[in-house]
Amino acid sequence: MTLAVPQKIRVRFAPSPTGYLHVGGVRTALYNWLMARAMGGTFVLRIEDTDVERSTEDAVRAILDGMRWLRLDWDEGPDIGGPVGPYRQLEREGLYREQVQRLVREGKAYPCTCAAEELAARRKAALAAKQPLRHLCPCREQGPTTGRRQAIRFHVSGQETVRWDDLVQGGIEVAAEEIDDFIILRSDERETPVYNFAAVVDDALMGITHVVRGADHIPNTPRQILLYGALGYPLPAFGHIPLVLGTDREKLSKRHGDVALQDYQAKGYLPDALVNYLVRLGWAHGDQEIFTRDELVAAFRLEKVGSAPGVFDHAKLDWLNALWIRQTPAERMADLVAPDSGQPVRRSPAAKRGGGFHRKFLAPRPAGAHPVDGRRPGHDEQPGEHGAATSRRRRRSS
Ligand SMILES: [Zn+2]
């Protein structure tokens, strides 16, 4: 399948400012940015900060600074505004409540006053009686209990299967009966919308045409598709890019080494080397390894991203970084390496190997530095961290 669509594409990167910017997230941002730049589209940056306990302004700054350092510029976002702002979810809560109330008025959502312990007890009883774990909340039939705080639950109805043609993973299908009525607005003081609801309202109102994000979001997508239908919004195309794994094939985390963008920035990696490394983690263009930014914009196609997870290979990153250092005139280095940090730059092992930036010979090509062959895995490697319906998947047809 191709992304040939008549309208201008609009894509987004929507990080939560709850910690450092993970290099896996950077790759998601990069793929979205490349799609927008390759197709004359719009790249939107949205900050998903409804988790007020964990979100910090420092993390917001780290995201914006990191993206600027990588030269992944955005056309609309929290600092520059745009026609469909605001671009921080915390400033959009009125919009979510408006849409929730509309669903309730239309009979597509209902108030729920079940306490967590009541739901847990019914679940336990259903398990013991070997009954299905659906419909544990009686509020739709019985009405909410007065005097209790209300959450709002979305009613799943009328559809046998939810399916979509994923731009990366191929066709994915989930039986609607696997999806129970789910909470869209919590009963807390702030009436916080759940992630799936806020993301759908934002993507729809911001006119996002292609939702390209990590494969850990696949379990969210069936619920989101049902919400698009109920809200009457046109469905975007979805593309779920495989996760970045460590050498033990577990999701890349701190125990595999540095995962925060700022660690690479601080250690003297060049932004172009990092971009060059990350783009190749799951995408190939013949056997070309080194890409300038212009070459990437010209060559990148999302449908060429394989569905197999990429394994983060520090040796290959060091090799690419050394190549980029040798290609970069010495007078430009000071601008590229950790700008604005005011800190003395610690050089990466690769940068040190690069010596005076102009060593004559190349570092040996590491074993992992061969082109991605685009093979598809025969099984799902889906961590499903958002816990949801299981999905059956067909290989992509094209
Ligand atoms: Zn209930």
274: CA distance to ligand 1 center in Å? 48
177: CA distance to ligand 1 center in Å? 18
Q: Quick check: 390 pLDDT over 50? A: no
Q: Quick check: 358 pLDDT over 90? A: no
139: CA distance to ligand 1 center in Å? 4
pLDDT bracket for residue 389 (50, 70, 90): very low
Instruction: Tell me the domains of the chain and their CATH numbers.
Output: 10-85+244-353 (3.40.50.620), 89-243+381-393 (3.40.50.620)
How far lies 219's CA from each of 10, 135, 193, 257, in Å? 23, 20, 18, 28
Of 226, 267, 229, residue with least CA distance to 352: 267
Query: Using CB atoms within 10 A of its CB, is residue 360 exposed (0-12), middle (13-18) or buried (19+)?
Result: exposed
pLDDT for residue 383: 30
Q: Are 194 and 218 in contact (CB under 8 A)?
A: no
How far lies 260's CA from each of 21, 26, 266, 272, 343, in Å? 5, 9, 10, 16, 17
* pTM, to two decimals: 0.83
138: CA distance to ligand 1 center in Å? 5
* Residue owning tokens 């996002």: 208
For residue 256 the two structure tokens come to 């595999």
Whether cis (ω within 30° of 0) applies to the bond prior to 86 is: yes
103: CA distance to ligand 1 center in Å? 16
pLDDT for residue 160: 80
Q: Quick check: 132 pLDDT over 90? A: no
Contacts of 394 (CB under 8 A, 6+ apart): 170, 171, 172, 173
| Catalytic residue ranges | 254
- Other C-beta atoms closer than 10 Å to the C-beta of 219 total 20
pLDDT for residue 339: 52
Q: Quick check: 363 pLDDT over 80? A: no
383: CA distance to ligand 1 center in Å? 29
What are 190-243's pLDDT values in tens digits? 999 999 999 999 999 999 999 999 999 999 999 999 999 999 999 999 999 999
108: CA distance to ligand 1 center in Å? 15
Q: Looking at residues 63-84, what average pLDDT do you find?
A: 97
pLDDT for residue 337: 66
Dihedral over alpha carbons 14, 19, 20, 24 (to 10 degrees): -50
For residue 227 the two structure tokens come to 């919400």
What are 136-178's pLDDT values in tens digits? 999 999 999 999 999 999 999 867 899 999 999 999 999 988 8
How far lies 47's CA from each of 202, 219, 265, 368, in Å? 11, 21, 22, 35
